[in-house]
Amino acid sequence: MTVEELLIYGYQHLHKDQVRMLLGVLLGYNPLELLNHLEEAVDEKTRHIYQKSIDALLTNKPIQYVLGNVNFYGNRFKVNENVLIPRFETEELVEHTLHYLDTYFPGAVRVLDLGCGSGVIGITLKKKRPQLDVTMLDISPSALEVAKENAKELNANVTFMESDMFQKVEGTFDVIISNPPYIKEEEEIDPLVKDNEPPLALYAGKDGLDCYRKILKDVKKHLNKRYLLAFEIGCDQKEAVEELINQYLDNVSIEIKKDLQGRNRMVFVWNNDV
Q: What is the pLDDT of residues 10-64, one digit of tens each?
A: 899 888 888 888 888 888 888 888 888 999 999 998 998 888 889 888 888 888 8
Structural class in CATH, domain 81-271: alpha beta
Q: Considering the entire predicted model, what is its pTM?
A: 0.87
What pLDDT, on the 0 to 100 scale, is given for residue 58?
87
Query: How much of the chain exceeds pLDDT 90, in percent?
Result: 63
Q: Are 176 and 223 in contact (CB under 8 A)?
A: yes
Q: Which amino acid is located at 157 in the chain?
A: N
pLDDT of residue 73: 93
Q: Which of 18-22, 128-132, 150-154, 229-233 has the lowest mean pLDDT?
A: 18-22
Sequence ranges of the domains in the chain: 3-59, 81-271
Q: Which of 274, 271, 211, 222 is nearest to 246 (CA)?
A: 271
> How far lies 272's CA from each of 195, 225, 228, 269, in Å?
43, 10, 11, 10
Minimum mean pLDDT among 184-198, 208-222, 244-258: which range?
A: 184-198
